[in-house]
Structures are given as C-alpha cells and as structure tokens.
Structure 1
C-alpha cells in the first residue's frame, strides 16, 4: 500500500489517528511538504511495514527516533522496520551517524541533506545523499565492499583525509565536492 500526502495544504499532521499504526500493508509513506513541525512522531515508528519514508521539506527538529535512525541506534533495528529508503532532507534534524547504521537491515538509502547531522560515515551505509551537514572524518575504505552502494553524495560536509583507492563497483554517482580531502582524485 502506498499513501501519498505530500504537499497537501489541507492535511493536518496533528490529527493523525492512532489507528494509523494498524495499516499493516503500508509500504510507502510520502509526507514531504505537509507542514510537519517538531520531532518525528511515534506513530511513524509504530508502522513496522514501511519500506520508503519521505519526510522532507517539513519543519522537523530534534533527534530521529531510535526505532528509525538515531545516535543511540539499537543493533536490532531491522526488527523494528522494513525500511529500505529514508528521506528527511531540508529539516533541522540532529543525529549522530552510528557505525552500525545499516548492519543487518534492509536499508538501501538515506537521503538526509540540509540538516544538522554530525559524525562519521559508516562503512555499512547503502546509498547516501547527505550533503550540507556537519559530517566529519574520512570516507571509509570498506565502502568498496558495500554491494548496495550505487550512489554516494556527501558534498558540503567536513570530510578530510585521503580518498579511498577503490569504491564499490556498483557506484554510478559520486559527489564529494566542498570537503577537505587532502589529495588528487585517485579512484579507479
């Protein structure tokens, strides 16, 4: 089931019924541009069948709930959600990326640009679109073994160090500009 509420000026997010969590076949939820304000509501973490969640272009603040993605991410995240793509760009979310972010889960993509994210990029990350944040560190050399990685867009952060000699064979898009890398482009 797909539920699209994006850019719906009549939608009142404060009136989401508690029965929303009973939508046991809901796979895709588009709520971009629906005037969501404040922290991500618990009702979303109760919908455990979600594969794609788009909360971009709202006025969300605070931390991302543990059952979705947060700095205190539980190792058994996959038990909570079937989430494959998570999109929360253009909000004011804070979140420290966890090194085990995608270990053992179905998450293939995180699109979280233009927030206040911090931390280092996890090796296990699938497709990542996280430019205009405060991400630091270097690009992990382990990304070359990431089978799901086809896109890495991490421009306009604070990454430093050397670029890895090799990145995933499946990579079709790489955007790493506006960082502090210390050498020429060596990728093959």
Structure 2
C-alpha cells in the first residue's frame, strides 16, 4: 500500500502535469481560475505565450519558484491575482502604456527588487495590492506615479519597506475605498488632508512610527468599517467622531500614547 506522503507527491505531480497540459492544449484560453488548488510547483513559462488570456487567478496554490515576468506583459490581461503563495518569488517588469491591466494583486508572496515607475503606465488600474512582499526599501514620495490612477479603489502597500511621511500624492486618489500602509517605516503626523478621502471604508496605518494626534478631520470618513492605527506613537485623546461611525466593526488604536476617557456606553 502506498503511504500518505507518496500519494500526496503523486497527486502534486499529476496537478503540475495537468496544468502544463491545460495551457499547451487550450491555446485560446481567456480565463484561468485555480484558487486553492494545491499545485505545489512553479508557474509554467508557456503560460506567457497565451496571448488570449484576460484573467489569471492562482490564489493560495502553494506555488514555488520564480513567477514568469512576461505574463504581466500579456496584451489582453486585465486581471492577475497570485496572492497567498508565500514561496513564490519574482519581480515586476517594465509596463507598456498599451497594457489593459485593471487589477494587479500580489499580496503575501516574496516578490523583490524595485517597484518600477512604469507601473504608472497602467491607466486602467482599479486595484493595486503589492503588500507583504520583499520589495526594495524606498521613499514613499518616489511612488508619486500612483497618483495617475484616477480609477483606483483599492491600494495595498503594507509591509513593503516604505520610509518617509505619508505622501501627498494620495490626496489625488479620491475614489479609494481601501488603503493599507501598515507595517512600514512611515513617520511624522497623520495628515489632515488624508481625511478628505471620503469614500474610505478600510484604513490601515498600524505598526509605523506616526506621531502627534489623530486628526479631528477623521470625522469626514463616515463610511469607515475598518480602522487600524495601533502600534504607533500617537498622542492625545480619541476623537469623539469615533462614536459616530455607524459602520465601524474593527477599531485598533492599541500600543500608542493616547489618553483621556473612553465611553463604553455609547
């Protein structure tokens, strides 16, 4: 009888062969969704030849090795999501202005290298999630090309070695509903103008080095459902506006230097 380990190995080999065979035979493939299928191998380079591909989703597939950079440059690709593959490495190539990418999701992988400014060529981008990777340390202001993404609704730059203050280019992203910049090396005060992003539903700035008070203008963010400001060096009282957030289900302000009385009977 075969042991459990041997059966698992044979299944993984079978899945790898199936994926390669699928790509080789379906030359006009438009969408490939294999989320949570335990592939446990590298992404076949032949996938970069499927020019008809518009969507690729390989979420939590135990992918390994280096992701073929040329896949990002497929001429019809609108959506790519490989998040949750913690052993998947890779780098971002240069992007052309002709790229139709709308959603680029690489969270919780091990991509490294620099984040190219040519990402600013992706004029159709609506979702950019690069968080929890090993990108090179850089000043937050150097990502000013993100301000070109007038359609952007979700932006995750958490734990990617950003330094400096919250960059002013963020004020141009007026359609944002989610902003994640936690676990970086950002410092200085949380700017009042950030609270003019009225559409925000999720805001995560925890585990940085922010100082000063929580801006009273936070009352402008009436759509907030998720707010993380914990593990900073913030001071002063909690804004009374917190009591007015009717949609708020998650609030983290722990590990700061906040003071005052909290009314738990509101």
Q: TM-score, normalised by structure 2?
A: 0.57
Q: Distance in 1 between matches of 2:128 and 2:149?
A: 16
Q: Does 1:170 align with 2:215?
A: no
The answer on whether the counterparts of 1:13 and 1:34 sit within 8 Å (CA) in structure 2 is no
Q: Distance in 2 between matches of 1:186 and 1:15?
A: 48
CA shift digits 1:104-161 (9 cap, x unpaired): 6222222222221112223425321121111112111112321332211111101111
Q: Does 1:119 align with 2:171?
A: no
User: Please, which moves more after superposition, 129-138 or 151-160?
Assistant: 129-138
What secondary structure is seen at the aligned counterpart in 1 of 2:59? coil
The answer on whether the counterparts of 1:59 and 1:91 sit within 8 Å (CA) in structure 2 is yes
Q: Which of 23, 31, 39 is the matching residue for 2:75?
A: 23
- Which segments of 5 or more consecutive residues in structure 1 lack a partner in the other structure? 69-76
What secondary structure is seen at the aligned counterpart in 2 of 1:177? coil
Identify the structure with the greater helix proportion: 2
- The offset of 1:17, in angstroms, is 4.7
The answer on whether the counterparts of 1:67 and 1:81 sit within 8 Å (CA) in structure 2 is no
Q: Distance in 2 between matches of 1:62 and 1:23?
A: 23
Q: Distance in 1 between matches of 2:160 and 2:201?
A: 22
Q: How many residues align?
A: 175
Which has the greater radius of gyration?
2
Match of 1:72 in 2: none
User: Which structure has more RCO (C-alpha within 8 Å, separation ≥ 6)?
Assistant: 1
Match of 1:81 in 2: 123
Q: Give 4+ residue runs of structure 1 displaced > 6 Å after superposition.
A: none
